[in-house]
Amino acid sequence: ARLRQPTIAVLSGHALGGGLELAVACDFRVAEAHIKLGFPETSIGVVPGWSGTQRAVRRFGAQTVRRMAVGGEIVLAAEALVLAIVDRVVETGKALDEAKAWAGKIAERGPLATEAAKLMIAIAEGEESAAATEALASGFIALTGDIKAGVGSFKTKQKPVFSRS
């Protein structure tokens, strides 16, 4: 969650317990249609670890996490999509290809602005003052060559060439 680069979890097998906790730590999740997701730890007398429940509550809401961690509900990929636990559901065997294609599209975006947006979202999820960070990030990006490249490419209708400077 603290990586500068966006992360995409590829869920080609069930994401139960630690598997879901790891997936929740990623920015995006692509699931194959056949998988199941949940926090079944309480069925064996333990609680989800690695801050999985806290992160999941911030991402999906308390009631969804309560249903899985306390109520023991296991959800299929289609329901996980409706609950915003996963971002995309694809046919079995297609998740990695979908994630690679999505990552390619993300990689075309302004890298500094993408990193700043990711930071602002993380802060808005409950860690610090989102407004102060957004102002700081916007001010920082305004001083970079990347903003000139992005705005210039918009005006000329050409693909931007970002320098990360």
- According to CATH, the topology of domain 8-106 is 2-enoyl-CoA Hydratase; Chain A, domain 1 (3.90.226)
Q: pLDDT band at residue 125, thresholds of 50, 70 and 90?
A: confident
Catalytic residue list:
21, 41
Q: How far is CA 125 from CA 54, 79, 114, in A?
A: 10, 23, 17
- Please compute the mean of the pLDDT values over residues 145-164 and round it to a whole number: 81
Q: Is the pLDDT score of 160 beyond 70?
A: yes
Please report the pLDDT score of residue 134 as a whole number: 54
What ranges do the domains of the chain cover? 8-106, 109-156
What is the Cβ-side half-sphere exposure of residue 108, based on CA atoms within 13 angstroms? 9
Report the Cα–Cα distance between both ends of the chain, in Å, rounded.
24
Contact by Cβ (8 Å): 16, 38 = yes
Please report the pLDDT score of residue 1 as a whole number: 44
Interval 28-84: pLDDT, tens: 999 999 999 999 988 777 777 777 788 898 889 999 999 999 999 999 999 999 999
- Please compute the mean of the pLDDT values over residues 17-24 and round it to a whole number: 94
